[in-house]
Amino acid sequence: MGQDLVNAISLGSIYLLFALGMSLAWGSIGILNFAHGSIFMFSAYVAYLILGHVRLGIFAVLAIGAAVGAAMSVAIEVLAFEPILRRAKDHRTAEMQILIAGIGIASIPLAIAQKQTKSNPFGLSDSSFQVHTYAFAGIRITNVQIIVVVAAIVLGGGIAWWLHTSRNGLALRSIGVDSEVSSMMGVDRRRLALLTMLIAGALAGLSGILLTYQLGAITPESGDSLILKAFAAIILGGVGSIIGVVVGSYVLAIAETIVLTQTSGLWVDAVSFGLILVVLLFKTEGLFGHKEVRRT
Amino acid sequence: MTGQRRRNVLRGVAVLLSAGVALGLSACSSGSSSSSSGGTSGGLPKQIKVVAVEPQTGPAAFAGLAALKGYDVAINEINTSKYLGDSTIVLDKKDTAGSAQTAASEVSSAVADKNTTAIFGSVSSNEAVAQSPIAQKTKVPIIFTQAGSQGVVIGGYTFRCTPPMATYYTKMTDFTKPKGYKTVGVVYAAWSPTLNEIATKTLSSMGLNVVASVGTQQTTQDFSAPISQVLAKKPDVVSILLVGASNPTAMKQLRQAGYAGPVLGNSGASAGNLKPAGADGAGMVWAVDYSALNKSPSSEKFIAEYQKKFPGETPLNYAAEGYDAAWWLARALKDGNGAAHDVVQQNLAKVASTGFTGAMGDLKFEGNDLRLPGVLIQWDGTKEVLLPST
């Protein structure tokens, strides 16, 4: 039971780290970035390539992941999403176009990594950081799991606090409420959008590095399978609510772990997503979403 | 029409035209030459076109690319030795990109081309079961390697040059019986027909009592919870039956969970897939139809030919299977002295009925399906080691 709880919290933290960046961009500036999975994967891939030449510790590798993720995310915003937003007649039309563009853009880093690795798994074992396991009271936990859980909670809480208390956070939330009015109030939407995508990309890169340490190895396709989980966690928690995505990630992970321990592993996705469907039938805006159309 | 609207229309037309030109160019570049024929009634054509539809990208690419290398080595040997006289085999390679729909589509294109003599089908069972009915229905011979599930060899025009894993996996009893293992806990890729069969049927047929069995989905990346479930039942030995990158992840998490004993795996852990697990990967054992560590004369001959084309590389079992599949086809072409589909099909079956010696040793067939006793491999943390046979 205790081990199952540790596994569920660890899994939920992975989902949260991945979903946080997606939720931030979607909930504030209205960009649902389906290239998030590719950014996550490619950040880890670049770190893997660098480690082939120089041995680095975990913090240096995390910095590389965050930097690569941030750079990719900003580049996608400037080269793809901004032009779409400029040309679209309204934001709703732009949202669908951005979604499709994200799927298309995601295939580029995926194809590069697939070609170079021949879809073989790659990891960060050349790093000087070593995984250690600690056992107490019949429960086993690794140092990576501890880092993942702490990082998820600190980053989740930190971003929620930043959005609600800082000047930039409040400005970002105002864009989510009404972009036009916030511009008239002097909010620089473009600057904040770039900042948001930079943070979202950095979060994707961080989660890519941490997950690769946790799993030991990922493949070029690993990011794609997490997109659906992240999407589910965001919808369950409520679009636009960072606290919602925190709760949604852990609820999803706990539901999956309970299903796994009680039935065959084949029912995990069916029951987990069925639970989300049930929640949405009774609360369409998600657990922490708001009834009116407000993003933050 | 306003100026802005006109510009938008022109922009859209330009995009459509560009896409059309790109599609047209790619169709032209993949078009076949006219000098080969799959339908001549007698004698071999100058060029014999064979289409290989394999995953060159995606999760099974490590096996698909290795199979293509095997075909290349064999075809090079066949052509340079003039085994088919003045006729040469031309191999056209298509990528399934890990998609069953793409695999089926490429085979449909291949069978529609009257110049196609035969097809090498996908190594992936999911893709192969989509390809097989198309080839069978259109009566174009198709030879698979790997793809060990049901629904692949379904008729007279479908052949397989890899024994189904379930037929040689029982070789693992050479390892489990001396160690006295009675119970096993298994974590397996339930979405893989081959591994599903091993987990749910073959393990128990080996005299092992399956005390814990957790199937995982294709989207599963974290195996901590399934591993905890299995270890809670305290089996004598653990079996991890997963594909590709899931193997090093599961091995690391298995060791982190406190299990230090040997692990019954499968050949999906080969091709260096366990390297990212480092020392945690040591101790996984699996049965495979062929290993380059096997020093038989036929294996050494194959390795020498392989290394002429790919210097410094050790061939994987997928390459050996591809090599023998290509030689199987070459034998059928030579015996039948014709490239018509029915002639090739009849002679493939005839060669199978007598068997032949290939890279993997003396090949015997059960119908159109290969059978081999298998060998045991253990990963020691850095490399594969051949375990002695009993």
DSSP label at residue B198: I
**The pLDDT value given to residue B28:** 46
Q: How many helices (H) and strands (E) does chain B have?
A: 13, 15
Quick check: A257 contacting B, CB < 8 Å? yes
Phi, psi at residue A136, to the nearest 5°?
A: -155, 140
Question: Mutation test of the interface with chain B: which of A119, A214, A252, choosing the one with the most B Cβ atoms within 10 A?
Answer: A119
Is B33's pLDDT higher than 50? no
Judge whether B47-163+295-373 and B167-288 match in fold.
Answer: yes
Per-residue pLDDT tens digits for A175-194: 777 777 777 777 788 888 89
What is the residue extent of each domain of chain B? 47-163+295-373, 167-288
Tell me the pLDDT band of A237, cut-offs 50, 70 and 90.
confident
Which residue among B65, B218, B257 places its CB closest to the CB of A118? B65
- SS3 for chain A is CHHHHHHHHHHHHHHHHHHHHHHHHHHHHCCCCCCHHHHHHHHHHHHHHHHCCCCCCHHHHHHHHHHHHHHHHHHHHHHHHHHHHHHCCCHHHHHHHHHHHHHHHHHHHHHHHHHHHCCCCECCCCCCCCCCEEEECCEEEEHHHHHHHHHHHHHHHHHHHHHHHCHHHHHHHHHHHCHHHHHHCCCCHHHHHHHHHHHHHHHHHHHHHHHHHHHCCECCCHHHHHHHHHHHHHHHHCCCCHHHHHHHHHHHHHHHHHHHHHCCHHHHHHHHHHHHHHHHHHCCCCCCCCCCCCCC
**The pLDDT value given to residue A12:** 92
Contacts of B276 in chain A (CB under 8 A): 121-123, 125, 216-217
Contacts of B280 in chain A (CB under 8 A): 216
CB pairs under 8 A between A and B: 120
Q: How far apart, in whole angstroms, are the C-alpha atoms of residue B18 and residue A270?
A: 42
Which residue among A8, A11, A219 places its CB closest to the CB of B245? A219
Q: Taking the alpha carbons of B379, B380, B383, B389 in that order, is the dihedral positive or negative? A: negative
**The pLDDT value given to residue B26:** 47
**The pLDDT value given to residue B19:** 55
Quick check: A5 contacting B, CB < 8 Å? no
Q: For chain B, what percent of residues have pLDDT higher than 90?
A: 74
Q: Taking the alpha carbons of B35, B36, B38, B39 in that order, is the dihedral positive or negative? A: positive
**The pLDDT value given to residue B39:** 46
Mean pLDDT, all residues of chain A: 87
Lowest mean pLDDT segment, chosen from A218-227, B5-14, B18-27: B18-27
Lowest mean pLDDT segment, chosen from A231-240, B81-90, B94-103: A231-240
Strand B47-54: give its sheet, edge to edge: B88-95, B47-54, B116-120, B142-144, B158-160, B369-371, B361-366, B356-358
Q: How far apart, in whole angstroms, are the C-alpha atoms of residue A214 and residue A44?
A: 12
Mean pLDDT, all residues of chain B: 89
Per-residue pLDDT tens digits for A53-85: 999 999 999 999 999 999 999 999 999 999 998
Distance from CA of A56 to the nearest CA of B (A): 16
Looking at domain B167-288, its CATH architecture is 3-Layer(aba) Sandwich (3.40)
Higher pLDDT, B146 or A118: B146
Which residue among B58, B221, B276 places its CB closest to the CB of A125? B276
Quick check: A89 contacting B, CB < 8 Å? no
**The pLDDT value given to residue B298:** 93
Distance from CA of A28 to the nearest CA of B (A): 29
Which residue is associated with the tokens 């298509």? B94
Which residue among A122, A219, A260 places its CB closest to the CB of B226? A260
Specify whether the CB–CB gap between B385 and B197 falls below 8 A.
Answer: no
Is A271's pLDDT higher than 70? yes
Quick check: A3 contacting B, CB < 8 Å? yes
Which residue is associated with the tokens 């690769």? A212
Question: Mutation test of the interface with chain B: which of A18, A133, A143, A219, choosing the one with the most B Cβ atoms within 10 A?
Answer: A219
Contacts of A217 in chain B (CB under 8 A): 245, 248-249, 276-277
Contacts of A256 in chain B (CB under 8 A): 225
Distance from CA of B59 to the nearest CA of A (A): 6
Query: Which fold is adopted by the domain B47-163+295-373?
Result: Rossmann fold (3.40.50)
Which residue among A3, A142, A268 places its CB closest to the CB of B217? A268
Q: Do B256 and A114 touch (CB under 8 A)?
A: no
Is B29's pLDDT higher than 50? no
Q: How far apart, in whole angstroms, are the C-alpha atoms of residue A176 and residue A181?
A: 10
Quick check: B216 contacting A, CB < 8 Å? yes
